[in-house]
Every structure is written in structure tokens, then in C-alpha cells.
Structure 1
Amino acid sequence: MNMQDKPILQVKNLTKQYGPGCSICTNAHEEVLEKNYCPHCRTVYACRDISFDVYQGEILGIVGESGSGKSTMMKCLYFDETVTSGEGYINPYKDGMVNVFEQSSQQQRFIRDTILGMVYQNPMLGLKMDFSSIGNIAEKLIAAGDRNVNRMEARSKELLEHVHIPLARMKDEPKKFSGGMQQRVQIAKALSNNPPILLLDEVTTGLDLSVQASVLDLIKKIQRELGISMIVVSHDLAVIRMLANRTIVMLNGTIIEQGLTDQILEDPQHAYTQQLVYSLI
């Protein structure tokens, strides 16, 4: 990876708060907050000043405990949530010259449909459980502007095979599938529009270990073959160790440490990261 290259995604000072904030917490931020919560006005600062870059073909890991803000950040990147403030630039969209967070909802939908893929922790957020699996994939293709039924069917079959779903079951609804199979259908759907950037939010949580391993293998294989840039969110450092080139550690809505994954695992600087790493050994 050539660091001189322009990042495919740049996020600058992304902030997401729930609540208006008050003179106490906006002025004296850190001191008055309990973790990321203001006891005076009850505002929750889910993400505070998050900045990072993702490069072409790289997997960026984001690790942190529940409530650290990592899933909120992913929802902001996929426009499921509106940011409070901050900038986001995606190179394939208008040459990375416009802040995507300020684009119209129509433009944001276009970015979702053509540039981003998202795999949610809960497959019910990413799939229509009563649609056939092939129908779920076609839905994303239609959103991206495809109208050719034969081409969509061929692409859907190719993707289901790619994620090891037997074609004999392509007409089955995801509600009839196991958790691991549902995640694989979600991955197929997310890949259908050839997105340059794939967002993966806790995709192995709640799966058996053997199923987790097969989903992680699949993600690595896809990344290798297609050269997609990925952001992988997990509270599990073992997942991050297996997938990510670089890692960001989040705590209470802020980034407390970032660097090459090996570096963070071998020589963690922050007390919280040290605790995370030593619990893994």
C-alpha cells in the first residue's frame, strides 16, 4: 500500500451526540462527563471528534467495548444516523471533494446503493427476512439501477455460490437459515453492487466459533480477491488480529489509540488497550 495515495475514505472530526448539550458539558467537555454522558443535561456524546483514513484495499479494524461509539460511527458512515458535525470524503464520489455528510438524502442514498456495502451485526437490519435470498440480493442491484432480470439472477447466483449458500436454497427466505447463513447472505447482498468500501459491524457476534471462523475466512478471501477496502468493527481483538492491517481503539466515544494492528497488539500504549490485549493472551 502506498501511503502517498489519496485515501479512499477520509473522516474528519465526526461527532454524534444525542441531546442538546449544555454550557457545562460543551465548555468543560472531559471533566464533567461520566464516560460519554453529561449528568447535567443528559446528553450522550456517542462519537467525539473521530478522524481516520482508509486506503485502497486495506482493512481497518475498530475495536472497543460496548458503548464505545463504534457502531454509532458505522451507522453515521452508512447514513443510518445523521452526524451532529464532521466531514466525510469518499474518493469514488465526486473525486473525494465534497463532504458526504452534507449531501442531500437522495445523494446519500445513491452513495449507499453504489459505493458502500454494509453488513450489520443483526441480519434483520440488512435483510428482508420474508424475501427469498436471491430476492434480497436483487433488491440491492435494483437500488443501484439494474433492471436486467437475467443479469441480476446470474449475479445473485454467483454471489450465493461465492459465500457458500447452496443454490438449491436460493429461493428460501433468510428466516429459514441459521445465523451464520444469514450473515453470509447479508455479505452477498452487500457485495452485489461491487462496492469499493465494505462496512462490517460485529459480523461474528453471537455465532458459534466454527461458524465465526468460516465467516472470517470468507471476509479475508473476498478482500484478497476483490481488493475491497473494509472497515471491520468488533469488540473481539482476535477478530481484529485476524483481519485488520491497521486498528483504531475507541473508548467512550473517542479514539484513544491507533496504529498498525501488530504494533497495537505487541506494544499497546493506553491502559485500556493494554487491558484488552492482556485479556486476549
Structure 2
Amino acid sequence: MIQTEQPMISVKYLNKQFGPGCPHCMNPESRKLHKNFCTVCHTVYSCQDVSFDLYPGEIIGVVGESGSGKSTMMRCLYFDQEATSGEVYLQAYKDGSRNLFAESTQQKRYIRNHLMGKVYQNPMLGLRMDFTSIGNIAEKMIAAGSRRVSEMEDRGMELLEKVHIPLHRIKEAPKHFSGGMQQRVQIAKALSNRPPVLLLDEVTTGLDLSVQASVLDLIKALQRELGISIVLVSHDLGVVRMLADRTLVMLDGKVVEEGLTDQILEDPQEAYTQQLVHSLL
């Protein structure tokens, strides 16, 4: 639900490039690229001036083909990679007055541990596969300063129950679980410190359709119950249709269209979006 409040998170002119750049490609006004690639110096411009606002309790979907910059954007937002330039403001951090990209490493760690959660496409990036499931949740809580074992156990059991992990399996390591169960443990871990913002990067890719449906139902139920704001990256327009209030379409590192999800899927304006909708729906 979109509200007339301050954005929960505001992203302004996010850029991420891989490579040094050269006179042929450095100036955004006169930049000559093959898609997002400079044929002279081989620099890749993965994100080019990506901007959007995410409001309290809203789910924003980000779609586009492989290589469009969706996952790079998410890695920058969660500080898995350093943005080349740009600004991001989080309402829950110093009332949205500070550019998170300019904060110290220590402050970025605080933001990751307290104010954001991320669920990765590959559970091995988000979980310690040899820890117990409840141990994974405890790890995230310890990183945020928790020290009371009973509190961590109670929170871990509450969350794992919420994501439908049987209580008799909470001491098992995620390496013994199916892909769908691993994603549910990741979701529980991401929610452990009650973050106001959740980043979901291709969370249903590679899962069977029935498992996909159960994970999506879970995300929708948790979002409604907890009122969290979500950035959802997916190449699957069915996933975005089910979950997202608004949608951004990315191509070659740029946002080429944005709007209400129903409007984007039923009346796309850009030629690329039309092609995407017709090929994938």
C-alpha cells in the first residue's frame, strides 16, 4: 500500500561501473556504449543513474533481463558491493538525513544488521550451511548486539515457526534442507532484527512451481503482518504481478519505465517493456 508519507528508502542516481572508464564513455551525456559496455576500454556500466522511492509498507518490483543491473543494484543497497556514485537515504536511519553510501564501514555494518534484511537467490550467500537453522538466526542477532541466549532462542523459534520450519528440525543445518526450506530459513534470518526494509533478490529462481507458490504466499503474509517495505528483484513477471504494488523495468543498467504494476503489465509504454511482457506472460 502506497502512503503519503516520507519514503522509507530513497535511491538517487545510483551508479556502478566495473572498469576505469575512458573519454569515450565517461561523460553520461555523450556516452557511446554497446548496451552497457564500452567497446574502447571494456568498462561495464551496470547501473546508470538508478533512482526510486520505496514507501512504508510498499513492495516495489524490479524486472529486466539478465545483465540489466537488477542484482548489482541490490548488492550496492546492501553494501555487498560499493556503489561508484549516487545517494541512498533510509528513513529509519537518522531520519533519512544521511547518504548511506557516504557512511563509515562501521555504520554500514550497523545498517545491515539492524535496518535491512536481504534474501539471496543462492542460499549459500545468505546462510551458514553448517550452522543449525536457529544458529543462523542467532548469528544475525549477535551481529546486532544481542547477548541473551534465551532471547535468541525464543526469537529463533518464533521466526522459524512463522516460516513453517518444523520445530523438530530447527537444530538441523540448512545443508540438509530442500531449496524451498533453505529460502524460508533465509527469510527468517533476514527478519531476525525486525528490519523496516527487506531486499529480495530472485528468491524463487530454481524452485519448483509449487514451492515457489508457498514461498510467495509466505512473503505476502509476512509483509502484511509486519508492515515491512520490500524491494523485490525478479525476472518472473508472474512473481511481480502477485507481490508488487509498483514496478521498475531495467535495461542495460537504466530504469526505462516505472509505474503501478497492473499498468506496467497491462499497458506497457516502452518498446522493451512491451517485448518483456509479451514474451514472459
**TM-score, with normalisation over the residues of structure 2?**
0.98
Question: Once superposed, which parts of structure 1, at least 4 consecutive aligned residues long, lie more than 6 Å away?
Answer: none
How do residues 179-258 of structure 1 correspond to structure 2 at under 5 angstroms? 179-258=179-258
Counterpart for residue 65 of structure 1: 65
Q: Unpaired segments of 5 or more residues in structure 2?
A: none
Post-superposition Cα deviations, 1:191-248, rounded to whole Å, max 9, x if no partner, equal 0000000000000000000000000000000001000000000001000000000000
Identity of aligned residues (%): 69
3-state SS, counterpart of residue 25 of structure 2: helix
**Compared CA separation, residues 106 and 31, structure 1 to 2 (3 A):** closer
- Counterparts of 2:68 and 2:120 in 1: how far apart (Å)? 17
Q: Name stretches of at least 5 consecutive residues in structure 1 with no aligned partner.
A: none
TM-score, normalised to structure 1's length? 0.98
What is aligned with 2:116? 116
CA deviations over 1:58-99 (Å, ceiling 9, x no partner): 000000111000000000000000000000000000110010
Distance 2:68 2:182 in 1: 26
Partners of 2:221 and 2:140 lie apart in 1 by 22
- 1:13 partner SS: strand
- What's the Cα RMSD here? 1.1
Q: Is the 8 A contact 2:2 2:58 kept in 1?
A: no
- Answering whether residue 135 of structure 2 is matched by residue 128 of structure 1, we say no
**Structure 1 residue 12, shift from structure 2 partner:** 0.2
Q: CA deviation at 1:276?
A: 1.4
1:2 Cα offset (Å): 5.8
Alignment of 1:256-275 (within 5 A): 256-275=256-275
Residue matched to 2:77: 77
Residue aligning to 2:138: 138
CA gap of 1:237–1:2, structure 2 versus 1, over 3 A, is closer
Distance in 2, matches of 1:94 and 1:148, equals 27
Distance 2:228 2:102 in 1: 25
1:91 and 2:96 equivalent? Answer: no
SS of the aligned residue for 1:26 comes to coil
Question: How many corresponding residue pairs?
Answer: 281
Measured in 1, the distance between the counterparts of 2:217 and 2:3 equals 26
Q: Which residue does the alignment assign to 2:45? A: 45
